[in-house]
């Protein structure tokens, strides 16, 4: 082994605008800032149980085409009005993907999907699509994967996720402790819930940490701590974890850690064995459990786009509105399932309806 291979230096690919520069180029505005503040507050009220609606974070596994994302947002906005008495809809606008090993890492990294990795353009398109969706009136959710990327978009977000692969990471817990928005920590890919409970506890504390400021300068920061966090059950290598027994055991872990019992179920990923068509089964179980009195269940997540399924991108023309990462439910199915969920939550409770609800 020689010295060069021991100490490789990163090759700088492209210089980037600072977060302040991008915010200036694609600005929010005072009305939008106020709207985002209200969206965050509404989500927090649902998560705390003050508002009895169910939070629904739905949208594509990843954004690759801003036009299709805006098309989906327009449909979701209309649906949102029809179900707003029971469901609080928030759109998944995922611009970064954590990969198990390698693969396309999202719009922020490679907006042309051709390996050219124009990351400045990726950041620009990412911020712009989020800003346009918030301007339409929909709350925006994303996975906070790279803390540097988060600086470019966090003012636009109503909700954030820390994914299964990063929930144990101190950097992500520090990042969340400095954010003024609700954030869900997922259980890890093996199904471990305690790491997410520990993350919730860690993020509630203030931290001293290394970061970059708005001008892009490295900075030593101190964070205030974030208590608006909750658990997301996404299943794991050991199988799904949305059954009443799994929810009860997760609630016990949260209570033992002195953490509020607020749980979201991710209907996708290991809870649906990565088969998008199984997401409705998971959703039905959550609705049934809610109607059966499982108050800790405060939200669900769906992977949904315009066209069903997923596609590989190999230089051929892409199918409009179809995921290039994990498979999604079609728009028609999503609409049908969310209307059905809202209807089920509206129906008056009776002993017979309680007996007929199906669960995992």
What residue ranges bind ligand E4P (CB under 6 A)?
A: 61, 97-100, 103, 269, 325-326
User: Minimum distance from CB of 103 to ligand E4P (Å)?
Assistant: 5
Kindly report the CA angle at 234 between 228 and 240, in degrees rounded to 5?
140
Q: Strands of 63-197 (E only): list them.
A: 87-92, 140-143, 159-162, 183-186
Could you tell which of ligand E4P, ligand PEP, none binds residue 186, using a CB distance below 5 to 8 A set by kind? ligand PEP
User: Minimum distance from CB of 149 to ligand E4P (Å)?
Assistant: 15
Residue with the CB atom nearest ligand PEP in the bound state: 163
- Cα separation, 337 vs 334, in Å, equals 5
Kindly report the CA angle at 42 between 271 and 70, in degrees rounded to 5?
65
Q: Which residue has the tokens 């809610």?
A: 290
Which 8-state DSSP code applies to residue 318? P
**Do the Cβ atoms of 36 and 134 come closer than 8 Å?**
yes
**Do the Cβ atoms of 207 and 176 come closer than 8 Å?**
no
Chain positions 291 to 350 lying near ligand PEP, rule: CB under 6 A, are none
Which one among 22, 54, 61, 196 touches ligand PEP, defined by CB under 6 A?
Answer: 61
**Residue (140 or 296) nearer to ligand E4P, CB:** 140
Binding mask 205-244 for ligand PEP (x = CB under 6 A): -----------------------------x----------
SS3 category, 222: strand
User: Minimum distance from CB of 304 to ligand PEP (Å)?
Assistant: 12
User: Minimum distance from CB of 250 to ligand PEP (Å)?
Assistant: 15
**Residue (274 or 291) nearer to ligand E4P, CB:** 274
Could you tell which of ligand E4P, ligand PEP, none binds residue 99, using a CB distance below 5 to 8 A set by kind? ligand E4P
**Do the Cβ atoms of 223 and 211 come closer than 8 Å?**
no
**Residue (224 or 239) nearer to ligand E4P, CB:** 239
**Residue (97 or 127) nearer to ligand E4P, CB:** 97
Looking at 164-272, list the stretches that DSSP marks H as alpha helix, in order from N- to C-terminal side.
Answer: 170-177, 194-204, 244-256
Distance, first Cα to last Cα, the chain: 54
- Cα separation, 221 vs 218, in Å, equals 9
Chain positions 140 to 169 lying near ligand PEP, rule: CB under 6 A, are 143, 163-165
User: Minimum distance from CB of 300 to ligand PEP (Å)?
Assistant: 12
- Cα separation, 215 vs 19, in Å, equals 6
Could you tell which of ligand PEP, ligand E4P, none binds residue 164, using a CB distance below 5 to 8 A set by kind? ligand PEP
Which 8-state DSSP code applies to residue 167? T
- Cα separation, 270 vs 264, in Å, equals 14
**Residue (143 or 155) nearer to ligand PEP, CB:** 143
User: Minimum distance from CB of 283 to ligand E4P (Å)?
Assistant: 17
**Residue (164 or 294) nearer to ligand E4P, CB:** 164
**Do the Cβ atoms of 29 and 273 come closer than 8 Å?**
no
User: Minimum distance from CB of 208 to ligand PEP (Å)?
Assistant: 27
- How far from the centroid of its chain's Cα atoms is residue 244's Cα? 23
**Do the Cβ atoms of 47 and 298 come closer than 8 Å?**
yes
SS3 category, 163: coil
User: Minimum distance from CB of 187 to ligand PEP (Å)?
Assistant: 8
**Residue (41 or 99) nearer to ligand E4P, CB:** 99
Enumerate binding residues for ligand PEP (CB under 6 A).
Answer: 61, 94, 98, 143, 163-165, 186, 234, 266, 269
């Amino acid at each position: 082994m020689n010295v060069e291979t021991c100490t490789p230096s990163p090759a700088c690919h492209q210089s980037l605008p600072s977060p302040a520069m991008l915010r200036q180029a694609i600005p929010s505005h005072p009305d939008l800032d106020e709207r985002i503040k209200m969206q965050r507050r509404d989500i927090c009220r649902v998560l705390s149980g003050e508002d009895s609606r169910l939070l629904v974070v739905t949208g594509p596994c990843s954004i690759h085409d801003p036009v299709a994302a805006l098309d989906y947002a327009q449909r979701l906005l209309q649906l949102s009005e029809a179900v707003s008495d029971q469901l609080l809809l928030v759109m998944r606008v995922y611009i970064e993907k954590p990969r198990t090993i390698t693969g396309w890492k999202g719009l922020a990294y490679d907006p042309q999907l051709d390996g050219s990795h124009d990351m400045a353009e990726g950041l620009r398109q990412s911020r712009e699509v989020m800003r346009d969706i918030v301007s339409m009136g929909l709350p925006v959710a994303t996975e906070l994967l790279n803390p540097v990327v988060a600086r470019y978009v966090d003012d636009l977000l109503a909700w954030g996720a820390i994914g299964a692969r990063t929930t144990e990471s101190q950097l992500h817990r520090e990042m969340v402790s400095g954010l003024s928005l609700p954030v869900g920590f997922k259980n890890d890919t093996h199904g471990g819930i305690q790491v997410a409970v520990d993350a919730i506890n860690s993020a509630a504390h203030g931290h001293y940490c290394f970061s970059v400021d708005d001008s892009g300068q490295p900075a030593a920061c101190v964070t205030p701590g974030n208590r608006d966090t909750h658990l997301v059950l996404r299943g794991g290598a050991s199988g799904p974890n949305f059954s009443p027994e799994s929810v009860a055991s997760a609630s016990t872990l949260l209570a033992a850690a002195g953490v509020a019992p607020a749980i979201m179920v991710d209907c996708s990923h290991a809870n649906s064995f990565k088969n998008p068509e199984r997401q409705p089964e998971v959703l039905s179980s959550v609705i049934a459990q809610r109607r059966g009195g499982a108050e800790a269940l405060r939200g669900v997540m769906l992977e949904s786009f315009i066209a069903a399924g997923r596609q590989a991108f190999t230089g051929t023309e892409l199918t409009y509105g179809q995921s290039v990462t994990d498979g999604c439910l079609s728009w028609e199915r999503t609409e049908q399932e969310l209307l059905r969920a809202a209807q089920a939550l509206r129906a008056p409770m009776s002993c017979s309806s309680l007996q007929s609800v199906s669960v995992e």
